[in-house]
Amino acid sequence: MKIIILGAGQVGASVAESLVSEENDITMVDSDAERLAALQDRLDLRVVTGNAAYPSVLKSAGAEDADLVIAVTQSDQTNLVACKIAQSMFNVPTRVARLRSRDFLEDERLLSPDNFAVDFAICPEQIITDYVVRLIQFPEALQVLDFAGGRVSLVAVRAYEGGLLVSKPIKEMKEHLPLGMEARVAAIYRRDQPIIPTGDTHIQPGDEVFVLAAAENIRAVLRELRRMTTPVQRIMIAGGGNIGLRVAATLEERYEVKIIEHTRARADYIASKLKDALVLSGDATDEELLEQENIAEMDLFLALTNDDEDNIMAASLAKRMGCKRVVALINRRAYADMVQGGPIDIGISPAHVSIGTLLAHVRRGDVAAVHSLRRGAAEALELVAHGDAGSSKVVGKRIADIPWPKGVTVAALVRDFDFVESVHVRDDGTVDRRSGRVEIAHGDSVIQSGDHVVVFCVQKKLVRKVEQLFQVGFHFF
């Protein structure tokens, strides 16, 4: 498949790294020649230097016979113009655009074929906002991911000394859970090394444990591994950019929120957009300001500025001054690996959080969801099984009989989406209809056509082998 990626920033580079393979011809376009050269040294791709919105640049990139254009530059306008030109001048079949502005996202007509011709729009800022909100709902978790439309949750936690399952074999977990409730430990990382769990594997204090269960059961399962943290009530946010403002606006009705913005004019703008949050103009690395605003009484500190160093410094300071839990956006993976688990509880990579939504669309039809784990080192996939026992390597077969690559764990099956298992009325009055049956995977489980299969890969390089097993043209279309 011939793919053109416009924009060699964090998102573009992560997309290229995920899509580069012997079956994909990748061309990267950016105006920064040095950045392109660095990517070309690391990845097997072609590069073109220039403005992604110029027809001549798109032509040089091979748009005349491209299958897909992914426009992820920093400019909404550039991404939109590029998609329109790709459609009207070069007839590129599929166009994906990164868009930040709500003005473009809230009116679907603007993205229709008659206008900007965007088949799929990705908003990393909103994806990150949703990700942060899930972390707040599970304050003891390192990572929280959903599959099958929210029917299944995969949560990463740090096992603690004294947990009911700690220092015991995993097979004893079902003895502690309510009758009929099941869960699956999908993977364990011990001192950053993956361990493929079996029933006899013992979880040790400090292990990073990925556990999967039906969404309604996940809290009960987590109690076996981790002390349940007091629910979050007070939150301080450093940074009032696109992400900080979105997060504050989402949280202010349910939590006590304070947001610190360095630029006075931006702080005034944020104050005009928020209803209940307290907006402060100042520096989040100012120890005196944090003390005045009672940082020691905060349940959570979110460092969401556009600067890695500022985020690390602010979060580390907040932790040292007594904040219970701190989270920082960190673009550079080396930084995230260095600080997470030390002064900072969670380091979030914006590119790795947002890339899954894009990849799930690019691989549409057979891959329903893709989640990057451990800052890109591993992946969890939700794949749809098609075909029958005669045409598929997985349909109609026991999980134990399928030649899964070493390092792959099949965690759950979700089937019968026409079946409504339960209807739950939330506190805000909205109705949550849980469709589909969740089956925690075992060796004797048989995969049926139409099943959504949740698979954990301890290394990203295993993803391609898993896709090939499902055999339904796991090319990107």
We report the CATH number of the domain holding residue 430 as 3.30.70.1450
The verdict on 372 and 312 lying in the same domain is: no
Residue that finishes a domain, picked among 93, 122, 151:
122
Give 474's pLDDT tier (boundaries 50, 70, 90).
very low
The verdict on 260 and 317 lying in the same domain is: yes
Return the pLDDT at 150. 86
SS3 161: coil
The verdict on 407 and 465 lying in the same domain is: yes
Decide if 99 is inside a domain: yes
Decide if 405 is inside a domain: yes
The verdict on 320 and 357 lying in the same domain is: no
pLDDT digits (tens, 9 = 90+) for 69-126: 999 999 999 999 999 999 999 999 999 999 988 888 888 889 999 999 999 998 888 8
The verdict on 394 and 357 lying in the same domain is: yes
The reported pTM is 0.82
SS3 11: helix
The verdict on 316 and 405 lying in the same domain is: no
What is the distance between the alpha carbons of residues 250 and 411, in angstroms, rounded to a whole number? 32
Fill in the DSSP letter of residue 286.
Answer: -
The verdict on 312 and 367 lying in the same domain is: no
The verdict on 317 and 358 lying in the same domain is: no
Return the pLDDT at 81. 97
Decide if 449 is inside a domain: yes
Decide if 156 is inside a domain: no
pLDDT digits (tens, 9 = 90+) for 311-366: 999 999 999 999 999 999 998 766 766 676 678 888 888 877 887 777 776 765 57
Decide if 227 is inside a domain: no
Q: Per the structure block, which two tokens stand in for 359? A: 């990849």
The verdict on 63 and 109 lying in the same domain is: yes
Give 227's pLDDT tier (boundaries 50, 70, 90).
low
Query: Could you give the number of structural domains in the chain?
Result: 3
Buried b / exposed e over 255-287, threshold 16 CB at 10 Å, is: bbbbbbbbeeebbeebbeebeebebbbbbbbee
Return the pLDDT at 477. 37
- Tell me, what CATH number does 277's domain have? 3.40.50.720
Decide if 219 is inside a domain: no
The verdict on 56 and 105 lying in the same domain is: yes
Cross-strand pairs, 194: 189
What is the distance between the alpha carbons of residues 410 and 78, in angstroms, rounded to a whole number? 41
Query: Could you tell me where the DSSP H helices lie in 300-454?
Result: 308-320, 333-339, 350-362
Residue with tokens 């799929």: 120
Residue with tokens 């469709």: 435
Residue that finishes a domain, picked among 87, 122, 157:
122
The verdict on 263 and 369 lying in the same domain is: no
Residue that finishes a domain, picked among 307, 324, 341:
324
The verdict on 408 and 310 lying in the same domain is: no
Q: Give residue 325's identity as a one-letter amino acid code.
A: R
List the domain range (segments joined by +) for residue 95: 2-122
Decide if 437 is inside a domain: yes
User: Alpha carbon of 67 to those of 72, 87, 94, 200: distances in Å?
Assistant: 16, 11, 7, 48
Decide if 186 is inside a domain: no
